[in-house]
Every structure is written in structure tokens, then in C-alpha cells.
């Protein structure tokens, strides 16, 4: 009997028939990621999304920063960055190469192999989580999804959100996880203005709803992040982010209360902290200030607190730290009032200059800045308030502009309040010209002894 000979391609055909479709899709996706031919869309071109999109493009992926704000998209397409950590000259070569683009057209989502969601997650008026931006992004994505796509959420949320909310929402549309899509969570770790740690060299934590989702997400992030840390689940990754910022919020709350106690005891808070920090073990210095600012530290712990309330547990440390930190602007205004009173002046009618209004040093971001609360409280007391901040050229509260002024007329103000210690300010010259300075950031350290009757600290 003649030997049977099969066509040379029959074995490959049979393998394809036996191999699960999900496995073929995964292999195809991983192959495109490895070859840098995968297309990436980052939803949200803000302080988190834009630096991430730029890093993806630098790694060789065709990357689109999607944002609904047409003015942002137009600026990026023109090569103009509005984010301090992304210089405009970094955009030019990426735009020229075609690796980076910006768009306000949601149709770009249908072209993506990987979609990374970086949208705001604020609190509502009752300090409950507002995940509407995430859900809007998913609603926009659903009718445009194609098989297979990797979806990664970076926006901070409560433990369980990716698994309990996103996964069912995608599945309810008839999509099957590990066949039609892969789902992961990787908490953003952006520190605006940090000269050392950026997207590329900040370790990245990744958790997913399935092993395949974790494999896909790890493959993508390892292409442009030096150190990637896988964890067992998306819930774990969500909790990691909340622990990081709860740790900071609670310790800042502690040191803010220490500042209040030192004030009552007649002690220099900063001297106490500096001396304690000399201990080489068992102590990590945190520093007081006019309150918490930015989009993470004042907000993220309350996501965790809210989640625990649903499980009938009261997160007492978080709530107490929030109370102390939220009260600091009022404490600062009290310091201003007492200092003016010692000079036979009232807050009402006094000209007060806030030096620095962004929430942290050397950036222009005023989100949740405690300086805004200080301004509002001073104005309620009848003060005439102006500000100086080279990083914030314009400022308005409730639509009402706040006057901006230079530091060449410091002597015209009854009091200067240092609420953000930008490095571009000569604080010794400022103090030498000012009538009174309330320093909430230890910016006058080193020369306070020269002006003992002019400087008040926390």
C-alpha cells in the first residue's frame, strides 16, 4: 500500500483548528507588542496621560493621546505641551516620526491594540468616589472595541472596581474576557516636578483580572518601564495605590498636628523635625504645611475609607488625618490674624500677598491647592488678597480673578504668606522688604534669626 502523503500545510491547519481562538489572539497581540507594531491609545491627556503617551511613543509604539478638550489636542498637534514634565521640544521629534499624535475623535479607539485609561477620579460634594469619568470612557469604548484589545485602567479607584465594575460592564456588552479583551489595573505613580523619577524609571505595579490579562499588560509596560512589579490581582494593585497615598496623608496629618502642638508649647516645629530626622533608623521625616493639595493625597485615602464603610468598617486613621489636614488652611489664617493683631491690625482691610499658590513646589498645578482655601478664608474675613506665583500666571476663584503682582512691591502689603516655596523666589530679599511674613513651608530657614520680629512660622 502506497505511503500516505499529506499537504505540507495540513499540520498547521489542524493546529489552528485545535488551538483556542483566545490563544491565537493573545499570541498575535503579544507579537505586535514585541515588534512595537501595536497601536496604543491613552485616554486622557493630562498630568498622568500625556507623560505616559510620550513614553510609549519614545519606545516605538504608534501612540495617540485622546482627549475631549479640543484646545489640548490642537496644542499637542502643534507641538506645544501644557504639562511641565513634558517639554515641548520632546514632542517635536515624536510628531515628526508619526509615533505620537493627539485626537479628540473617539474613532481612534477602534484602531488601538492597547487602551490605557488615565482620567480624573474626584470626590463628589459628600466626599464619595466619583467614577463617572471612567464609566464615560468605557461607554465611549464599548461600541468601538475590536478583538482583541488590552484595556488598562490607571485612574485611582477603590479596591475591587476593575473586577466588580469594569469587568461586568465590558462583559454585559457580549464581550468575553481573554477572548475579546484583556483587562488590567496599573496605578499611576506620577510625581509632577520630580527631577529624578519619571515614567520610565518609576517602578510600575500591575494587577489583572486574569493570568492572560496580566501577561498582556506586563508585556506592554515592560517595553517602556525599567521595573515592572506584577501582583496577584487587580484588587491588590488598586489597594497598593491607596496604601501609598494613605501612608503619606496620615503621616502629614500627624506632623501637622505636631506643628499645632509645637505652637502651643512655644517650640520651633522645623527644629524638632530636623533633630528627629538625625536618627538613622525608625524615623522618616514628614513636613507640615498649609494643607494637602494635588489630585492624589487629599483624595485617594477617602476612596479607601468609602470602600470600608460599605463593609461596615470605620477607617479611623484616615478620617482623623483628613480632619486635621483639612483644618490647616484655617490654622494658617489664624496665624495671620494673630500676627496682624500683634501689630495692632485687623485682617479686615489688610493687604495680604500669598507667595505661591500651586499645590507643590516648582509646578503650576493648583488642583486642590490649600492656598486657594487660604485665599477664600482671608477674603471672607475682609482682607484684600493678591498672589505671586511665576508658575501660575492667572488665577480665579468662583470665576472671580485674583490679582497677581510681582515681588518688587512686597513692602506695600501688611502681610506676606508663603504657601508654596518655589525655588525661583529669593526669600531673604522678600523678608528683608516685607512688613510681616507668615511662613508655612520653612522657606525662611537659615535667616530667621536675622528677622526675629518679622517672621511667623507654623
- Give the C-alpha separation, 256 to 190, whole Å: 24
- Residue among 118, 209, 296, 355 flagged as catalytic: 296
C-alpha cell at 55: 513614553
Active site residue 262: no
- Among all chains, which residue has been given the C-alpha cell 512688613? 435
Is residue 362 within 8 Å of residue 390, measured between CB atoms?
no
Half-sphere exposure of 325 (CA within 13 A, CB side): 27
Is residue 326 within 8 Å of residue 377, measured between CB atoms?
no
Exposure string over 130-159, b if 16+ CB within 10 A, otherwise e: ebebbeebbeebeeebeebbbbbbbbbbbb
- DSSP for 250-283, please give it: HHHHHHHHHHHHHHHHT--HHHHHHHHTT-SSS-
Q: What's the N-to-C CA distance of the chain in angstroms?
A: 99
C-alpha cell at 97: 516620526
- Give the C-alpha separation, 93 to 325, whole Å: 43
- Give the C-alpha separation, 303 to 128, whole Å: 7
In the DSSP assignment, the letter for residue 410 is G
3-class state of residue 323 by DSSP: helix
Is residue 258 within 8 Å of residue 267, measured between CB atoms?
no
Phi-psi region of 49 (alpha: psi -120 to 50; beta: other; left: phi over 0): alpha
DSSP bridge partners of 33: none
Active site residues: 296
Amino acid at each position: 500500500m502506497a505511503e500516505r502523503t499529506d499537504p505540507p500545510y495540513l499540520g498547521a491547519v489542524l493546529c489552528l483548528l485545535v488551538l483556542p481562538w483566545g490563544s491565537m489572539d493573545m499570541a498575535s497581540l503579544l507579537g505586535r507588542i514585541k515588534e512595537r507594531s501595536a497601536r496604543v491609545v491613552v485616554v486622557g491627556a493630562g498630568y498622568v496621560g500625556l507623560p505616559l503617551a510620550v513614553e510609549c511613543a519614545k519606545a516605538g509604539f504608534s501612540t495617540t493621546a485622546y482627549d475631549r478638550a479640543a484646545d489640548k489636542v490642537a496644542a499637542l498637534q502643534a507641538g506645544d505641551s501644557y504639562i511641565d514634565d513634558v517639554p515641548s521640544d520632546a514632542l517635536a521629534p515624536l510628531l515628526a516620526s508619526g509615533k505620537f499624535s493627539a485626537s479628540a475623535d473617539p474613532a481612534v479607539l477602534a484602531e488601538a491594540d492597547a487602551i490605557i485609561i488615565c482620567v480624573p477620579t474626584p470626590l463628589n460634594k459628600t466626599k464619595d468616589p466619583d467614577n463617572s469619568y471612567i464609566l464615560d470612557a468605557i461607554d465611549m469604548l464599548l461600541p468601538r472595541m475590536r478583538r482583541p484589545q488590552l484595556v488598562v485602567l490607571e485612574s485611582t479607584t477603590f479596591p475591587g472596581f476593575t473586577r466588580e465594575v469594569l469587568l461586568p460592564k465590558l462583559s454585559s456588552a457580549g464581550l468575553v474576557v481573554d477572548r475579546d479583551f484583556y483587562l488590567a489595573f496599573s496605578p499611576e505613580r506620577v510625581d509632577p516636578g520630580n527631577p529624578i523619577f519619571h515614567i520610565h524609571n518609576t517602578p510600575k505595579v500591575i494587577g489583572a483580572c486574569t493570568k492572560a490579562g496580566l501577561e498582556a499588560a506586563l508585556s506592554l509596560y515592560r517595553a517602556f518601564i525599567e521595573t515592572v512589579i506584577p501582583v496577584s490581582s487587580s484588587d491588590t494593585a488598586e489597594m497598593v495605590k491607596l496604601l501609598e497615598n494613605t501612608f503619606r496623608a496620615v503621616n502629614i496629618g500627624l506632623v501637622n498636628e505636631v506643628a499645632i502642638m509645637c505652637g502651643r508649647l512655644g517650640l520651633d516645629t522645623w527644629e524638632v523635625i530636623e533633630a528627629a530626622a538625625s536618627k538613622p533608623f525608625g524615623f522618616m521625616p514628614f513636613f507640615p504645611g498649609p494643607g494637602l493639595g494635588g489630585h492624589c493625597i487629599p483624595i485617594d485615602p477617602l476612596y479607601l475609607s468609602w470602600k470600608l464603610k460599605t463593609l461596615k468598617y470605620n477607617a479611623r486613621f484616615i478620617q482623623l488625618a483628613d480632619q486635621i489636614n483639612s483644618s490647616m488652611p484655617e490654622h494658617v489664617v489664624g496665624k495671620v490674624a494673630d500676627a496682624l493683631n500683634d501689630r495692632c491690625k485687623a485682617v479686615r482691610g489688610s493687604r495680604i500677598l500669598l507667595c505661591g499658590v500651586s499645590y507643590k513646589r516648582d509646578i503650576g498645578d493648583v488642583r486642590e491647592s490649600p492656598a486657594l482655601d487660604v485665599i477664600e478664608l482671608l477674603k471672607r474675613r475682609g482682607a484684600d488678597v493678591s498672589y505671586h506665583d511665576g508658575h501660575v500666571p492667572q488665577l480665579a476663584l468662583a470665576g472671580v480673578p485674583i490679582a497677581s503682582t510681582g515681588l518688587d512691591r512686597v513692602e506695600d502689603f501688611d502681610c506676606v504668606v508663603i504657601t508654596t516655596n518655589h525655588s525661583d523666589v529669593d526669600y531673604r530679599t522678600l523678608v528683608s522688604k516685607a512688613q510681616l511674613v507668615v511662613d508655612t513651608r520653612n522657606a525662611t530657614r537659615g535667616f530667621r534669626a536675622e528677622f526675629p520680629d518679622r517672621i511667623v512660622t507654623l
